[in-house]
Amino acid sequence: MDAQKLNTIAKAMVAKGKGILAIDESSGTCKKRFDALGVDCTEENRRKYRQLLVSAPGIEQYISGMILYDETLRQKDDAGVAFSEVLNKKGIIPGIKVDMGPKTLALHGNEVVTEGLDGLRERLAEYVKLGAQFAKWRAVITIGPDMPSQACIAANAHALARYAALVQEADMVPMVEPEILMDGTHTIERCYEVTAKTLQALFAQMTEQGVVTEGAILKVSMVLAGKDYAQQAQPEQVAEMTVKCLKENVPATLPGVVFLSGGQSDENSTIHLDMMNKIGGMPWPLSFSYGRGIQAPALKIWAANMNDVEKAQAALAFRAKMNSLASLGQYSPSLENEKPYA
């Protein structure tokens, strides 16, 4: 493991004013999104849509890296150039989602643990050859009656740490993603408590497994009330509680923290990120690693007319720019009036 190389890549992933675009939806998730918009989910249509994303003009001003799916990392553009190479030419770092998704945790019926450690070392070696420089693994924590259990938090923290160690062994940067789901009726205080406990368990396990924090990135959910809770917190409270939780539970040695949009509206995820950066005084950059939060308008435009590639790319770049401004604490909701799409 080249710790200096990993630290350089990790810092570039959270370069000032830039964030990560997640385009790592599995074929199943892609099918759900395409179906909802009346698009046939063929491999060729998925390739065309992803080509639109990776080749968007000027996107590199706001995006430092893109997380790809296995299929996407193997795909090429119309000219026969591998997507990873298209990204490299733009100065965007190619990454890869490597987990195999959440499965029911034995003896804990409503809770899940992410699988995919078996054979991961060999898969990582192939992904490096295909051009990936960082990887992502998502763990899912659900809040509910008697949930999450200590067993669920421990199992997911251990899996994330083992994954991170394998990724660093392969000279790639691990992005560790413990997502606390927004589903439920829990209060924002309950979310804070669960997020703190999960982060403590995660970094304790990473230390045990020998993971170098200077060569890793945290992708985390914001501290939010459950989406079915009657009283949603104001953006100021979300920002304050999220920042407090991170400061108390995330090592200062980490190169950066990026957020997932996780069920929030496009604009809410931008507003919350901006408010956190306006608070300031963080030991690490706070940026974004959004999927739907940046892609949604572009996908809608493209689905309505697949020839509207330029318009869809302009919508993608606009949402990326709004989040870039939020990562600098320079966003204002009034800027949304300039959007190039309805």
Set 219, 248, 310, 338: catalytic member: 219
What is the identity of the amino acid at 166? L
**Catalytic pick from 177, 208, 227, 267?**
177
Q: Are 59 and 92 in contact (CB under 8 A)?
A: yes
35 C-beta neighbours (distance < 10 Å), count: 11
Residues 6 or more apart whose CB falls under 8 angstroms from that of 150 comprise none
Which phi and psi angles does 72 have, rounded to 5°?
A: -65, -40
Q: How far apart are CA 220 and CA 246, in angstroms?
A: 9
Q: Closest Cα to residue 211, out of 150, 130, 289, 157?
A: 157
Residue 43 designated active-site? no
Sort 278 into a burial class: Cβ within 10 Å, 0-12 / 13-18 / 19+.
middle
Find all residues with CB under 8 Å of 88, minimum gap 6, and list them. Answer: 94, 131
Q: Where are the alpha helices (DSSP H) in the chain?
A: 3-13, 27-36, 43-54, 70-73, 83-90, 120-129, 150-169, 188-208, 235-249, 266-279, 292-304, 309-327
CA–CA distance, 331 with 203 (Å, rounded to integer): 31
Whole-angstrom distance, CA of residue 307 vs CA of residue 258 = 33
Residue with tokens 């509206």, as numbered in its chain: 265
Structure tokens at 82: 């591998």
Q: Provide the annotated active-site residues.
A: 177, 219
